[in-house]
């Protein structure tokens, strides 16, 4: 009996998704609820489980293709009967950026750079997860590319042996470049000088490929293992079917390594510069880090940036949060944090001082009659700023849910470019790292950014009495070209007033 696998409900207002990764291939046996593939929308990542036990018959939609809700993804033959392999044009689904895998000599297939996204013309090869001579399964991840915007994973267009790596790690390639060559399963691998790797024994490679085909580890886990120099054998997977998740890798990294044997007696001390050089490590900046560095420097060079400071007594916000946090979480399924209060306070202040929510375009000032709030988030790869759109129209619960969801996806490296663009104002919380005071840098072309800091008990003079209050320093960096000092100070005072008396938020005061 043939069963159809279709796109599940994607959520309110989401009408289409892109097939990110197939974890099974035609002819594979699957169990009920076993993960078949992963879809990406502009909001969330959706896993598609198998509706029944059986054999995957045909993959209708290949990786990189966009589909609508309820579209047919694949067919499944229920039971244990072996399914005939899907037609070649379906089984080897076209990879993004090319119509079909490029054929080389004999049965070899060229691995090309996939589609990198609008306005992205080149990428840097960050990590190769396979070496020349390794056996690879269809859709198994070969390498990862980094652009100045996002990381792109490159899957194998077909099963076989990786016979050549054309672009080694650190190489910059254009959007149509060849990365590697995959030969037929029995082909002999010939490593070029750029690859610098020897072919692995055939039996070991075949076993490794079989394991990877059965269990596809989380892409974020693969990336972190490569960064930390770990192999899958060194990490205990806790995901479905033993799948290694990012948290498993972080746990393995945190586990202390066995104490090494004492080193032999040191040689005579070398001159200081030579000794220091031997202890240094030089690592090329990632494309994302280069972009962060360039944008931050551009902000300093282009904007007349100035910072004004104030402090806020967090007593009332903390009391309100403690009073309602349990009921809030029970009703809305989200934790009540401080970020929703600060977001709401900034929205009210931006309505009164609209130039902080504006931007300069040539000789024009563009005022925004909406608020798209950027919430800066630290990730292992660097600082990113996911944007909560139309935050001025959202409730506390909606804000908390979206901040949590986008922060989690930012740490897993699954944010799309659309989710990091279009912000009109940014909040950065250095307090989570213990910062007491700092001057945040603007996120161009925005004209304002609010810096939150650590909450610290301090003695304050109130009504002639010295009392201990939980205080936080606030910093507003702004573009002095369109925001005057009066407007900047007024904005910060309005944020302070709203937080010290949260009832003002409810009454729109």
- Close Cβ partners of 234 (under 8 Å, ≥ 6 residues apart): 252
**Do 322 and 303 have their domain in common?**
yes
- Express each pLDDT in 120-136 by its tens digit: 678 888 888 888 888 88
- Spatial separation of the C-alpha atoms in residues 209 and 203, rounded to whole Å: 10
Do 248 and 305 lie in one domain? The reply is: no
Cα–Cα distance measured from residue 57 to residue 93, given in angstroms and rounded to the nearest whole number:
14
For the segment 382-388, the average pLDDT, to the nearest whole number, is 85
CA-closest candidate to residue 438, choices 430, 447, 448, 449: 430
192 in the same domain as 178: yes
Q: Is the pLDDT of residue 159 over 80?
A: yes
Residue 223 lies in a domain: no
- Same domain? For 198 and 311 the reply is no
460 occurs within a structural domain: yes
489 within a domain of the structure (yes/no): yes
In the chain, how many domains are there? 4
317 and 449 housed in the same domain: yes
Average pLDDT over residues 277-298: 78
- Give SS3 for 89: helix
Q: Is 126 among the domain residues?
A: yes
Position 32 scores a pLDDT of 82
Domain that holds residue 245: 229-256
**What's the confidence (pLDDT) of residue 492?**
96
Examine the fold and report which residue of 37, 66, 93 is the final residue of a domain before the chain moves on.
93
Instruction: Tell me: do 158 and 49 sit in the same domain.
Output: no
Residue 14's CB is within 10 A of a number of other CB atoms, namely 14
Element (H, E) at 225: helix 219-228
Kindly tell me if the per-residue pLDDT of 361 is higher than 60.
Answer: yes
User: Which one-letter DSSP state was computed for residue 185?
Assistant: T
Return d(Cα 481, Cα 366) in angstroms, integer.
13
* Number of Cβ atoms within 10 Å of the Cβ of 488: 23
- Which residue from 494, 183, 134 is spatially nearest to 344, judged by alpha carbons? 494
Same domain for 136 and 146?
Answer: yes
| Strand, helix or coil for residue 349 | helix
Higher pLDDT, 381 or 265: 381
Which residues fall within 8 angstroms of residue 379, CB to CB, at 6 or more apart?
Answer: 410, 411, 413
Question: What are the pLDDT digits (tens) for 218-248?
Answer: 666 777 777 777 888 888 877 656 778 766 7
Q: Is 480 a catalytic residue?
A: yes
Which residue among 189, 216, 243 closes a domain? 216
Give whole-number Cα distances, 216 to 211, 242, 244, 401, in Å.
8, 9, 8, 29
- The helix (H) or strand (E) run that includes residue 164 is strand 160-165
User: The pTM is what?
Assistant: 0.50
Same-domain status, 99 and 79: no
Q: Examine the fold and report which residue of 93, 116, 147 is the final residue of a domain before the chain moves on.
A: 93
262 lies in a domain?
Answer: no
CA-to-CA distance for 73 and 16, rounded, in angstroms? 13
Q: Which of 5-19, 94-108, 293-307, 460-474 has the lowest mean pLDDT?
A: 94-108
- DSSP per residue, 42-73: SS-EEEEE-SSSEEEEEE-S-TT-EEETT-EE
Residues 437 and 362 in one domain: yes
In this model, does residue 458 exceed pLDDT 90? yes
Kindly state whether residues 100 and 116 are assigned to the same domain. Answer: yes
Distances 185 to 163, 192, 471 between C-alpha atoms, Å = 10, 19, 66
DSSP string, 357-395: G-EEETTEEE--SS--EEE-EEETTEEE--EETTGGG--
CATH number of the domain bearing residue 330: 3.30.559.10
State the catalytic residue, choosing from 70, 174, 326, 484: 484
The active-site residue, picked from 28, 107, 480, 497, is 480
Is 363 within the bounds of a domain? yes
User: Is there a contact between 442 and 477 (Cβ–Cβ < 8 Å)?
Assistant: yes
| CA atoms of 8 and 422, how far apart (whole Å) | 29
87 with 104, same domain?
no
**Domain co-membership, 341 together with 470:** yes
Domain assignment present for 351: yes
CATH number at residue 178: 2.40.50.100
Identify whether 266 is part of a domain.
Answer: no
Sheet of 178-183: strand order equals 102-103, 109-112, 178-183, 160-165, 135-136
Q: Is-catalytic flag, 453? A: no
Pairwise pLDDT comparison (451 vs 264), residue with the higher score = 451
């Amino acid at each position: 009996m043939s069963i159809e696998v279709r796109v599940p409900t994607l959520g309110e207002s989401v009408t289409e998704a892109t097939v990110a990764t197939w974890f099974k291939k035609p002819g594979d046996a699957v169990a009920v609820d076993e993960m078949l593939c992963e879809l990406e929308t502009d909001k969330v990542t959706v896993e598609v489980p198998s509706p029944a036990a059986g054999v995957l018959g045909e993959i209708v939609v290949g990786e990189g293709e966009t589909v609508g809700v309820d579209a047919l993804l694949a067919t499944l033959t229920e039971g244990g009967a072996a399914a005939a392999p899907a037609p070649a044009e379906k089984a080897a689904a076209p990879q993004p950026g090319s119509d079909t895998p490029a054929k080389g000599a004999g049965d070899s297939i060229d691995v090309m750079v996939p589609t990198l996204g609008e306005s992205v013309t080149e990428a840097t090869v960050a990590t190769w997860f396979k070496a020349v001579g390794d056996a690879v399964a269809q859709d198994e991840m070969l390498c990862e590319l980094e652009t100045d915007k996002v990381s792109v994973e490159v899957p194998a267009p077909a099963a076989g042996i990786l016979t050549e790596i054309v672009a080694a790690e650190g190489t910059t390639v254009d959007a149509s470049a060849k990365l590697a060559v995959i030969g037929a399963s029995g082909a002999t691998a010939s490593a070029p000088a750029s690859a610098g790797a020897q072919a692995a024994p055939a039996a070991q490679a075949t076993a490794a490929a079989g394991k990877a085909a059965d269990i596809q580890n989380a892409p974020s886990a693969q990336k972190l293992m490569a960064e930390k120099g770990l192999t899958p054998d060194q990490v205990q997977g806790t995901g479905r079917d033993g799948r290694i998740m990012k948290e498993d890798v972080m746990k393995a990294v945190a586990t202390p390594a066995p104490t090494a044997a004492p080193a032999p007696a040191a040689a005579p001390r070398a001159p200081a510069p030579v000794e220091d050089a031997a202890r240094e490590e030089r690592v090329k900046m990632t494309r994302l880090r280069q972009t962060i560095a360039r944008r931050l420097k551009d902000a300093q060079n282009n904007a007349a940036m100035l910072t004004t400071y104030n402090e806020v007594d967090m007593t009332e916000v903390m009391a309100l949060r403690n009073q309602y946090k349990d009921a809030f979480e029970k009703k809305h399924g989200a934790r009540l944090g401080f970020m929703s209060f600060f977001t709401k306070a900034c929205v009210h202040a931006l309505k009164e001082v609209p130039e902080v929510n504006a931007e300069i375009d040539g000789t024009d000032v563009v005022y925004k009659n909406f608020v798209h709030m950027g919430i800066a988030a630290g990730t292992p790869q660097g600082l990113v700023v996911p944007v909560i759109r139309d935050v001025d129209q959202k409730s506390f619960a909606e804000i908390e849910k979206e901040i949590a969801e986008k922060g989690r996806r930012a740490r897993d490296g699954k944010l799309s470019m659309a989710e990091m663009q279009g912000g009109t104002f940014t909040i950065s919380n250095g307090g989570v790292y213990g910062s007491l005071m700092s001057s945040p840098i603007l996120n161009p072309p925005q004209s304002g950014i609010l810096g939150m800091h650590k909450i610290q008990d301090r003695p304050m003079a109130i009504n002639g009495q010295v009392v201990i209050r939980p205080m936080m320093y606030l910093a507003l960096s702004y573009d002095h070209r369109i925001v005057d000092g009066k407007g900047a100070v007024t904005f910060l005072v309005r944020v302070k007033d709203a937080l010290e008396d949260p009832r003002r938020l409810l009454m729109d005061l």
